Amino acid sequence: MAPGRILCQLLRKGHQFQSCAPILVPSFAFNTDQGTVGSAGIKSLRALAVIGASLSGIFSVATVASADDAEHGQGCPRYPWPYKGILDSNDYDHASIRRGQRLYQEVCSSCHSFSLFSHQDLVGMAYAEEKTNAVTAHIEVVEGPNDGSKSFVCPSKVCDPKSKPHQNEQAPRFANGEMDALDLSFITKAGYNGQNYVLSLLSGYRDLTAGVLIQENLHYNPYFSGGAISLPKMLINDAAETKDSTPGTETQMGKDIAAFLSWAAEPEMEERKLIVKYDITNTIHEHDRGRGGSAGNKFRMSLGLPVAATVNCADNTGAKNLYIISVKGIKGRLNRLPSACVGDMVMATVKKGKPDLRKKVMPAVIVRQRKPWRRKDGVYMYFEDNAGVIVNPKGEMKGSAITGPIGKECADLWPRIASAANAIV
């Protein structure tokens, strides 16, 4: 970028972020009667004015950046959480969730509420049901009133919501020096910078440096807004015992707590990613199948049998032909007359055949079509006639045998029809 453009941007930022009087240059500097000496003086003063405005812009931008840091605290590092991507295959670290839940119960639950969390959510995710019952049995909750209009203490149940550490809003303020203790149900979703902020805050306590002054009973943490926090340092190296070989460092404990809070705020994340992957895969298969492949994963085929087409009935039910009314799985709003191909299920009526089959609407599957179509291997296929067989909604044949061959596309999608066929082409 040219130096002139940089100076222009700095000047613009200086006037935008700092309200100050315009730069005044003495009038004697613009006296053109000074000759060459005056011209040199003019250029020097103008250069000094530009440099001064540039420095003003630089300091103004620095002031805005420091104001943003003061609002949210020092910028948090971006830690490599393996499950934070949209389509990452990595699931939650369940071992980390279990360790984080135990640390939360021992360290955080005495002050911070967790109102939208229930221990029942841990079943199948972090613990088995028996283990969850054992974990919650050690937690006491206040119930009541009983018949004597008194509250009583009893062991917690799996279905109970997480009890609040205080009975009212004034109690935590009195215990924490008039400071509110946040509810941690959605701290990683609603909080600034999510998990990175939680981990940085828990492991970011520092000793006071020169020039930093905070109030009494507050603790210095550069990642907290303003740098002074009433919460003391709760995580100490090797203070908590782990049942596995995981090191009990301050950073590891903070990571486990952040993982637990992230899972508690978004327990459906794994299922949501599976649904997205399934939808993407299904969309790709739909593109390969074409509009006629409504019955299953089938390569794109030429649609040879539109609505109102008549096909032969290839089974031994006594029906002679079938009249196609609609194609199953195809919406008619955008395609008023959808078409079918080999392997598709249709709704049809019997035009000729036994009297007990006529004037009834029943499902059928197309087994042959006359219109050629191209297979994946490049071979073009077609049959001498259009034919179908009567089935029930589950795809089971009403008859017991099929006359003539059937297409491989139909056999792949309907194995019970394939078992009754004489030949598969």
Binding residues for heme c: 108, 111-112
Question: Which residues fall in the annotated binding site?
Answer: 108, 111-112
Q: At which residue do the structure tokens 């203070």 appear? A: 239
Q: What separation in angstroms does the CA of 18 have from each of 46, 51, 59, 394?
A: 21, 16, 9, 74
Nearest CA among 375, 363, 387 for reference residue 412 = 375
Omega within 30 of 0 (cis) for the link into 172: no
- The residue count for the chain: 425
Tokens of 424: 């598969």
Query: What distance in Å separates the CA atoms of residue 421 and residue 416, rounded to the nearest whole number?
Result: 9
Burial track 308-331 (b if 16+ CB lie within 10 A, e otherwise): ebebbbbbebbbebbbbeebbbbe
DSSP symbol at 230:
S
**407 burial class (0-12, 13-18, 19+ CB within 10 angstroms)?**
buried
CA pair distance 62, 78, nearest whole angstrom = 22
Is 413 within 8 Å of 295 (Cβ atoms)? yes
d(CA 145, CA 152): 7
Using the Cα atoms of residue 194, residue 199, residue 205 and residue 206 in order, give the sign of their dihedral: negative
Dist CA 318 CA 414 (whole Å):
21
